[in-house]
A and B are shown apart, each in its own frame.
Chain A
Amino acid sequence: MDIKTLILFFISLLNGGLAALIIFRGLKNKANVFFFLTLVATFFWVFGLSMFRFGSFENGIYWAMLYYISASFCTTYFLYFVVFFVNKNLRKISLLKHSLIHLPNIITIIILLANFHFIKDYTLEPWGKSIKLGPAYFFYTTHIISYMGYAIFALIKRFRKASGIEKTQLNFIVFGTVTAGIFAIIFNLLLPFYTYKFVWLGPYSLMIMAVAITYAITKHHLMGIKTITSEILVGLLLSILFINIFFNDNNLWFKIIIFLVAVLIGYFLIKSVFKEVRQREHIEKLMKMRSEFLDIASHQLKTPISVIMGTASMFKEGSIGKLPEEQQQKFVDNIYRKAVKLSGIVRDILSASEFDTEKFSLPEGRLEPVDLEKLLVKIKDDSKKEADEKGLELNFIKTKAKISPIISDEFYLTQAIANIVDNAIKYTKTGKIDIMLDEDKKKVILKIKDTGVGIPEGDKNRMFGKFERARNARDMYTDGSGLGLFISKEIIDAHSEASIKFNSKENEGTEFIITFQT
């Protein structure tokens, strides 16, 4: 085997390896699926070309057919990939359109198999096997150039609109595919009209594409260098074993078995490395969350402590003692209120770490019928001062005279609901907060509705997560720990058949709906 063919084999395996990599990453969306199919088709294309050069003269023509058909599919799938990559919202393409897009492939297969003026002559030249192409090849060329041209045009259009990391990544992807596309069109499509001598050169540009795409991915830490290294090593080993199969036919089956075993081992090796990298990423995320939390928590704890300490220090050195009793009382009230707030924060932090270890459940022995109305009135009274300070209206509205009690634990239930009321006050600048209680059949429904900043669409999914805060809430001044909703949900979920959900519109307000079984 000559070195050119060896490199071709290697490139085909590289494409196969990249396809496997996409499978590892998971076929999350249609763009991924079609990129995978593009790589598979590319694998067959380059493999066909390798075998065309490597195999016997008689078989060469069939390998040539394989790579012409594969290249046709490769272009088609690349077009699909770009269409789905560029239009992220595109869900489905109609069957008719699918058939139309695939039509050139089917025609290519038919004219190749029927030998309809596609391959005019097949000869052995001094430099190797050669094919002379007939008029039907014009159709093939038009198909490939128009599909590739459209795809590249769409990619570049998208590239000009992109920004940030996406732009840098697209930069490499566009550069890689455009180079490979142009190379392939020149050496595999146009030049063969005149001579078949350089047909091996086209696929070499795929190396540039593979390197560019890999660089784009690794540069932005989308996967660890460790995974890449192990993949390259496994890929290299498999390539050597695979090529070895074709060198001479001694022990052919033995070599095939060795190769298959290596594939299996390689698969598990890469899988375990992937797992490790994912775990590390997870730990890094937790560490980052922890330090953010400590920053927030320490500031939040210091705010009430500084008032308590400052006021107490003035009592201690006697200045407050000189004031009229009425004013002294005010300072005592302040200390008390801040201490209550402080204990609430400490309780939140402790609860959050308690929920951390296991799924939270309500304390069995302490469960008793709880009068929600009484509990809500208390929460409202406790929050009144804060609402008044911000000029917000805080209402308690009951639509039924008698509300059935629910089985719960008063301490935890208060915490769950108070967190939501606190949030409503915190994230509302003007307007009002309504706490509404209603009963319907066997359900008690509690609604807490505000006219606040609302939750942006993109943040809705993670609002109940730990330390999470919506984007617009983070920009806003707040002393929230980001634990409130997480704790509320854990507690509500611990009730049998209870649920908590919310409706929200940015800049209009949020409504939390909690439902309990009576």
Chain B
Amino acid sequence: MAKILLIEDDNDQILLYHTVFKMNGFDIISAIDGKIGLNRAKNEHPDLIILDLNMEEMSGEEVIKRLKKNPETKNIPVIILTNMDKKKFQSQMLELGAEYFWEKTVVMPLDVVKKVRDFLEKNKIK
């Protein structure tokens, strides 16, 4: 069972994604801000990270920078799932090493699950 780490500061979003990932056979854990997310990434070795950008304590940008710097976490694929403007932030995030940039109002929860599954299969992760 693939393990997903969701770094997201909105409780309603967390509930939503927990439900939909669990229903579709994934193991999902979450972190309410960037700092906690970084620790969980190190300790729990998720197969994939879904990361929000606009967060208290530590922004998503800082989180991905640190994830990619640390040899322990740099190989974990990161997908950005956010409400921030795609035109403004996508290229920067892909440069920092994100796999995809998805907007929450465009990619619906079930599509997120499907796309994540395809990505993991294509890259032969679990």
CB distance from A318 to the nearest CB of B (A): 10
Residues of B near any A CB (own CB < 8 A): 9-13, 15-16, 19-20, 23, 54-57, 59, 83-85, 103-105, 108-110
Given contacts A299-B54, A302-B105, contact A310 B85 (CB under 8 A): no
By the criterion CB–CB under 8 Å, are B105 and A311 in contact?
no
Cα A330 to Cα B57 in complex, Å, equals: 27
Given contacts A313-B109, A317-B110, are A477 and B55 in contact (CB under 8 A)? yes
Q: What residues on A are CB-neighbors of B13 within 8 Å?
A: 306-307, 310
CB distance from B20 to the nearest CB of A (A): 6
Q: What B residues does A331 contact at CB under 8 A?
A: 15-16, 19
Known: A313-B109, A319-B110. A298 touches B16 (CB 8 A): no
B12 to chain A: which residues have CB within 8 Å? 307, 311, 334, 337-338
Residues of B within 8 A of A477 (CB): 9, 54-57, 59
Report the minimum CB–CB distance from A481 to chain B (whole Å).
Answer: 14
What is the chain A residue whose CB lies nearest that of B110? Answer: A317
Residue of B nearest to A317 (CB): B110
Can you spell out 9 A-B residue pairs with CB atoms less than 8 angstroms apart? Answer: A299-B54, A306-B13, A307-B10, A309-B108, A313-B110, A314-B109, A314-B110, A319-B20, A323-B19
Residue of B nearest to A323 (CB): B19
- Give the shortest distance, in Å, between A494 (CB) and chain B (any CB): 34
Q: B interface, by DSSP: helix, strand, loop or mixed?
A: loop
User: Nearest CB to that of B109 among chain A residues?
Assistant: A310
Name the one of B19, B56, B104 contacting A476, with C-beta atoms under 8 angstroms. B56
How many residue pairs link A and B with beta carbons under 8 A? The number is 67
**Contact residues in A for B9 (Cβ distance below 8 Å):** 477
Q: Given A306-B13, A306-B104, A476-B56, are A322 and B23 also a contact pair (CB < 8 Å)?
A: yes
- Cα A302 to Cα B108 with chains together (Å): 13
Closest to B32 in A: A389
Q: Does A496 contact B (CB under 8 A)?
A: no
The answer to whether A314 and B16 have CB atoms under 8 Å apart is: yes
- Chain B hits for A337, CB < 8 A: 12
Q: Is B104's CB under 8 angstroms from A314's CB?
A: no
Q: How far is the CB of A61 from the nearest CB of chain B, in Å? A: 73
Q: Which residue from A319, A334, A476 sits with its C-beta under 8 Å from B15?
A: A334
Min CB gap A269→B, angstroms: 43
Q: Are A306 and B23 in contact (CB under 8 A)?
A: no
Task: Please name the residue on chain A nearest to B88 by beta carbon.
Answer: A295
Chain A residues with CB below 8 A from B105, complex form: 302, 305-306, 309
**Please, which residues of chain A bring their CB within 8 A of the CB of B84?**
299
Residue A272 CB within 8 A of the other chain: no
Give the total of A residues in contact with B, Cβ under 8 Å.
28
Contacts of B57 in A (CB 8 A): 477
Of all chain B residues, the one with the shortest Cβ separation from A318 is B110
Which residues of A line the B interface, CB within 8 A?
A: 295, 298-299, 302-303, 305-307, 309-311, 313-314, 317, 319-320, 322-323, 327, 330-331, 334, 337-338, 389, 476-477, 479
Question: When the two chains form the complex, which single residue of B55, B59, B108 contacts A310, counting CB atoms closer than 8 Å?
Answer: B108
Chain B residues, Cβ within 8 Å of A307:
10, 12-13, 16
B85 contacts which of A295, A306, A338 (Cβ < 8 Å)?
A295
Question: Separation in Å of the A301 CB from the closest CB of chain B?
Answer: 9
Closest A residue by C-beta to B56 = A477
Nearest-neighbour CB distance to chain A for B84, whole angstroms, equals: 6
Query: Which A residues lie within 8 Å of B54 (CB)?
Result: 299, 477, 479
Q: Indicate if the CB atoms of B104 and A310 lie closer than 8 Å.
A: yes
Provide the residues of chain A in CB contact with B10, threshold 8 Å: 303, 307
A sample of 18 more A-B contacts (CB under 8 A), given A299-B85, A305-B105, is A295-B85, A298-B85, A299-B83, A299-B84, A303-B10, A309-B105, A310-B16, A310-B104, A311-B12, A311-B16, A314-B110, A319-B19, A320-B19, A323-B19, A327-B19, A331-B19, A334-B15, A337-B12
Q: Which residues of chain A are near B108, meaning CB under 8 Å?
A: 309-310, 313-314
The distance in angstroms between the C-alpha atoms of A314 and B9, with both chains bound, is 21
Instruction: For the complex, give the distance between the alpha carbons of A324 and B16 in Å.
Output: 15
Choose among A306, A313, A476 the residue that contacts B83 (Cβ–Cβ < 8 A). A306
| Residue in chain B with minimal CB distance to A390 | B56
Shortest C-beta distance, B32 to chain A (Å), equals: 10
| Residues of A contacting B15 in the complex (Cβ-Cβ under 8 angstroms) | 330-331, 334
Closest to B57 in A: A477
CB distance from B18 to the nearest CB of A (A): 11
**Which residue of chain A has the shortest Cβ distance to B104 in the bound complex?**
A306
* CB neighbours of A302 from chain B (8 A): 83, 103-105
B34 to A, closest residue via Cβ: A477
Query: Which 8 pairs show the lowest CB-CB distances between chains A and B?
Result: A306-B104, A477-B56, A302-B83, A313-B108, A334-B12, A307-B12, A310-B109, A306-B105
**A302 vs B81: C-alpha distance in the bound complex, in angstroms?**
13
CA distance A306 to B106 in the complex (A): 8
Q: Which residues of A contact B56 (CB under 8 A)?
A: 476-477
B11 & A389 in contact (Cβ 8 Å cutoff):
yes
> Chain B: which residue is nearest A429 at the CB level?
B56
The residues of B that contact A320 with a CB separation of less than 8 Å are 19
Provide the bound-state CA to CA distance between A338 and B104, in Å.
14
In the complex, chain A residues whose CB is within 8 Å of the CB of B20: 314, 319
Instruction: Give the CA-CA distance A114 to B56 in the complex, in Å.
Output: 77
**Whole-angstrom CA separation of A317 from B24 in the bound complex:** 13
Cα(A323)–Cα(B15), bound, Å = 13
Q: Which residues of B contact A327 (CB under 8 A)?
A: 19
- Complex alpha-carbon distance, A237 and B103, angstroms: 61
Nearest-CB distance from A174 to chain B (Å)? 40
Closest CB in chain A relative to B17 CB, distance in Å? 8
